[in-house]
A and B are shown apart, each in its own frame.
Chain A
Amino acid sequence: MNRRRFLVGGAAAAVALKAAPALAADEGTLLLGLWRREIGLAMAYGQQVHTRPELFGPARRHANDHAAALATELAAVGLGTPEPPWTPDELDVSAQRLATARPADVMANAVLAQESMLTLYQGALPSLPDAKIAMTAATILASHAQHLFILRRAA
């Protein structure tokens, strides 16, 4: 290897090392988005849990479990967990609609919220490069598929 090639190789390595945090930041941003959606869904179920406690109680608990797992993955990529939302105004559209739905519309909005979560994870899975994080997201996807199944049956 001549000196020029060596220097070029070193420069390429330096670029790769600089690119690594950028990749982690993208993954972190994605994880942060998933965390916000899970914590928002948990809050929405909490607002409606009295209407169908047998369905929304476990669903709220699982959304909180998912958010906790995502917070662990956020810490693994060097990011903290933000403050959770306090009011339905701070939620995404599907969670907000579930949180504020009238009794007659609660089940339909719960189905829509779970469909939205399933679509979200199906879109996120190809964009998570870390194997462990991707597998965590995959099991959460499976959980949302199960909740969607029982909500559709009950609707």
Chain B
Amino acid sequence: MVTRRALLGAGALLLAGCGPPDEPEVNAAQVWGEQLRAVQRAIASYPASAGMLETRARERLPLLESMAAAAGATPTATTPSLQTALEAERLALQTHVAAVGLLEDRASRELLATLIAAAAEAVSALRLELDEPAIVDAFPGQRNRP
């Protein structure tokens, strides 16, 4: 015979089992630090001749600086060039898309949407400067894709 106490205990176990799986806690400041460093790295990668392209990239910095208080040292590029800038912008785009999966709040998602649009445009602009096709993929910003 099943006692009332046993039934309640089983119910408690069942409820405990229904909880969300353990997931590593997201450190928002750290995520924003990564976003800031990715953009700083991209800016540092533009050659002096890039002109307007670098100016456009710099417009993203003020959006991020208030979010990423603990960003650490500013990255530098060893050899600034259009090709290096393209690689850095591609990485920045991937970093922003990945952050969408980590940060759910409205303000973060809105800012990330702005950053993603700007980085995606920069990737296309740099490709054109390098005489490459401006668009090579239907899902830019996914890891391991062009």
- Surface stretch bound by A, among B30-38, B44-52, B57-65, B105-113: B105-113
Q: Does A74 contact B (CB under 8 A)?
A: no
Given contacts A140-B138, A146-B134, 5 further A-B contacts (CB under 8 A): A58-B135, A61-B138, A122-B117, A142-B141, A146-B121
State whether the Cβ of A143 lies closer than 8 Å to any Cβ in chain B.
yes
Contacts of B142 in A (CB 8 A): 139
Q: Are A9 and B15 in contact (CB under 8 A)?
A: yes
Complex CA–CA separation, A153 to B105 (angstroms): 34
B117 and A145 form a contact (CB under 8 A): yes
- Given known contacts A65-B138, A126-B109, A146-B124, is B100 in contact with A135 (CB within 8 Å)? yes
**A-facing mask of B91-126, CB < 8 A → 1, else 0?**
001001110111011100110111011111101110
The answer to whether A126 touches B110 (Cβ under 8 A) is: yes
A110 touches B (CB below 8 Å): no
- When each residue 74-110 of chain A gets 1 if its CB lies under 8 Å from chain B and 0 otherwise, what string results? 0000000000000000000000000000000000000
Q: Using a Cβ–Cβ cut-off of 8 Å, how many residues does chain A contribute to the interface with B? A: 38
Known A140-B139, A146-B121, A149-B124; judge A134-B113 contact (CB<8 A).
Answer: no
Indicate if B13 sits at the interface (CB-CB under 8 A): no
Bitwise interface map of A from 60 to 76 toward B, beta carbon under 8 Å scored 1, else 0: 01100110010000000
A13 close to chain B: CB less than 8 A: yes
Q: Mark A118-149, 1 if CB is under 8 A from B, else 0.
A: 10011001100101101111111111011111
- Do residues B112 and A138 form an inter-chain contact, with CB atoms below 8 A? yes
What residues of A have a CB within 8 angstroms of the CB of B137 in the complex?
143
Residues of B within 8 A of A147 (CB): 135
Q: Which residues of B contact A3 (CB under 8 A)?
A: 8
* Residue of A with least CB distance to B110: A126
Q: How far is the CA of A147 from the CA of B138 in the complex (A)?
A: 10
Residues of B within 8 A of A (CB): 8, 11-12, 15, 18, 93, 96-98, 100-102, 104-106, 109-110, 112-114, 116-121, 123-125, 128, 134-135, 137-142
Tell me if B18 and A69 are in contact (CB < 8 A): no
Interface residues of A (CB under 8 A from B): 1, 3, 6, 9-10, 13, 17, 58, 61-62, 65-66, 69, 118, 121-122, 125-126, 129, 131-132, 134-143, 145-150, 153
Contact call A150/B134, Cβ cutoff below 8 A: yes
When the two chains form their complex, are residues A10 and B112 in contact, meaning their CB atoms are under 8 A apart? no
The answer on a CB contact under 8 Å between A146 and B140 is yes
Given contacts A13-B18, A131-B102, A150-B134, contact A142 B109 (CB under 8 A): no
**Residues of A with C-beta under 8 A to B116:** 138, 141-142, 145
Shortest CB-to-CB span from B3 to chain A, Å, is: 14
Contacts of A146 in B (CB 8 A): 120-121, 123-124, 134-135, 140
